[in-house]
A = this chain, B = another copy of it.
Amino acid sequence: TACGTDRYHNNQEQENQSETSHRKSPLLSGPWRPYRRPRAVVKEWLLRIRCCLGAVCGMEWYGYAAQGILMAFLSFLMDITVTKLLRAHRWLYVKMEGNSLLQFFCWTLYPSCLCAVASSFSHNICPFSTGSGIPEVRTMLAGIEMPHYLSLTHMFAKFLGLICTLAAGSTVFLGKVGPFVHLSTMVGAYLSNLCVLIQDNKKEKVAGEMLVVAAAVGVASCFGAPISGVLFSVEVTCSHYALKHYFPCFFAAACGALTFRLFSVWSGDEETLQVLFKTNFPASLPFYSSEILLFGFLGLLCGAVSCCYLFCYQRILQFTKTNPVFIKMLTTEKGLYSGMVVFLIALVTFPHFAGQYLASKYTTKQLLTALLESRQWTSQSHNASVQLESMPFFEWGSSGIPVCLSLAFFLLIKMCILVLACTLPVPAGYFMPVFVCGAALGRLFGEGVAAVVYTGITSDQDWTPINPAGYALAGAAALSGAVTHTLSPALLAIELTGQFSHTLPVLLATLLANALARSGHRPSFYDILSISKKLPHLPSLKKACKRIPSTPVGGLLGGKPVQLQKAAGPTEVQEAVNTSSETQVPVVDSHETQILLGFVFRSELLMFLRHSKTEVKGWMESDVWLRSSERDVGVLGILSLVGDQTLFVTEKGRLVGVITWLEMKKILEDLAKEI
């Protein structure tokens, strides 16, 4: 075949090349190594595979598929490990039945130790690996390079630390979405390197695209929800989305979600590919059309709650950054701090203490399943004939106090725990806990509505009961959407439960919650994290500091760059080449007038010196430059899209400085530090 012949020639050529020069392609090894014959066979097979694969589509597509499949595998592996660790804890706790003291120690020490281990581990291996990771990912996607956030050690520290955090269970109440997005970008960075090695070209393009795709795969493989995964990553990470990434993102996310679901089928957990949280909403009349208003009101309520939550969170972050005791503890004794905080939380949630009102024996998944149960809790608990023990809300009702009161208590305490847990220096996600809190808020609202309607109904009316689970779904989407300033949780809630009949009310609630949360340019959860970590991320800096959008670029520049005048002779050029290491040197009219004319490449200057021409003018190129007076820092975000590596800043035509992306990063970092 043509492909075969091609490959053969290719092979021959490369063989010849390898005789004269050292290996150019990693698939070719040098001639001095042993086992020449077997290696040649392996090499030929590898080249043949590459040829076959390359004939179907570009190598990057295999990279995208591998990205999805790998992340799904990691997600599944993590789920299985965490489930086993949680089951071990549960087994130990049940075995100690009858001895409250032992049970107490089992309940509190198990999560404390796990979190302390997670904290020490991540502190010692890679101190950057704590927290969500989404703020770092979006900073990287905005064009700022942060290589230490993509290292292999970081990945292992994050993965193992996250397993420990999740194994601490619903006591600590943390999720895995954020770290998974981060893990995914790390895997993406490695895969893009691999693709470049195999392809030998298009380095930058693949690398940038792979990171965008990786961010989308993170969420998709976490829940097996491809569409909302892509949309969430788009909303959180970008300010301008290039549509050419759309197809790769969906492709990789679909691969990830498909593999994740197939793993659950193969492991025997499920019969077929299904939604993560099965629900049983009535299909005939999902909700009355007048309930739309109530859903809207719930959205506003969730928006208000999210504002309170973010305010508390911002305050506690500030407190831990300014209080000397906390500063000392969080820099030197991270493990001890984590252990102590988790012990405190576990104390509150101990089932023989306040835990009996908190359904603290449930895992996060069980909590969500219970909250999304379509039967009304209050009417069921009135009816004594129903087997209470089998109901999912039994954990809330077991203490004897009314279910609604118990649920309100649950909501309040969980929100406080969440604010506290967010200060823990462990790898953890904060999306899922907010989602569960939102579901509880919605459920409380829904139960209230159902109870009010129930009392107004006479028994002989033909009447379909109100479904409080619909409110729980809307509440979950609205609160998590409002906290993160995104709309995709609406779709996520639907993808997780498969309840498409509720699309419109859920979307409405999320929209209204977002409108309230975004009003007055309030920062989102990730903006607060970005600002607190002093990351050079322009959109969040803009929210933190009102004056940034109107700061002129000129004021932020350092000293004059090395420059050449139009009529520069060889001496001046030689000096410029010696003093500057930039690849582009700006050319001005004359040193007096300073009017920028363009730039010359360093390589051209070297050639100029070799041939000793008379003027640099001939080679000059002009590129994108910026008016310092008028253009502000805000515009630089858009200019990064144009893909220019160097920007010249002028004022009334006169050169006042040069910005490279490296310097741009420094400017943003300085701005971040100032706040």
Interface residues of A (CB under 8 A from B): 57, 226-227, 234-235, 238-244, 246-247, 250-251, 254, 257-258, 261-262, 265, 271-275, 285-289, 292, 487, 490-491, 494-495, 498-501, 503-505, 507-508, 511, 514-515, 518-519, 566, 587, 589, 593, 595-598, 617-625, 627, 630, 635, 638-639, 641-642, 650, 652-653
Contact = CB atoms under 8 A, between A and B. Distances in A.
Contact of A250 (B57, B511, B624, B642): B511
Contact of A641 (B495, B519, B630, B641): B641
Contacts of A618: 652
Contacts of A254: 504, 507-508, 511
Contacts of A240: 240-243, 641
Contacts of A257: 504
B627 A638 contact: no
Contacts of A265: 289
Nearest to A519: B57
B511 A227 contact: no
Which of A261, A490, A519, A624 has the most chain B CB atoms inside 10 A of its CB? A624
Contacts of A238: 243
A500 B504 contact: no
A652 B621 contact: yes
Contacts of A623: 625, 627
Contacts of A500: 275, 494-495, 498-500
Given A500-B275, A595-B617, A642-B639, A243 B241 contact: yes
Contact of A292 (B243, B246, B273, B487): B273
A265 to B, nearest CB: 5
A503 B503 CA distance: 15
A637 B338 CA distance: 51
The 3 tightest CB contacts between A and B, nearest first, are A498-B500, A620-B653, A598-B653
Contacts of A622: 596, 625, 627, 650, 653
Contacts of A273: 287, 289, 292, 504-505
A243 B235 contact: yes
A596 B587 CA distance: 12
Given A261-B289, A635-B642, 18 more contacts: A226-B507, A227-B490, A235-B243, A254-B511, A265-B289, A273-B289, A274-B501, A495-B500, A498-B500, A498-B501, A589-B597, A597-B653, A598-B650, A618-B652, A621-B630, A622-B625, A622-B653, A625-B625
A243 to B, nearest CB: 5
Contact of A487 (B247, B490, B589, B635): B247
A434 to B, nearest CB: 19
B251 A504 contact: no
B243 A242 contact: no
A621 to B, nearest CB: 6
B597 A226 contact: no
Contacts of A234: 243
18 contacts: A226-B507, A227-B503, A239-B243, A239-B244, A250-B511, A251-B511, A251-B515, A254-B504, A254-B508, A262-B292, A265-B289, A272-B286, A273-B292, A494-B500, A589-B589, A618-B652, A622-B627, A638-B642
Nearest to A649: B622
A495 B487 contact: no
Given A619-B652, A653-B621, A261 B504 contact: yes
Contacts of A251: 511, 515
A257 B508 CA distance: 10
A234 B235 CA distance: 14
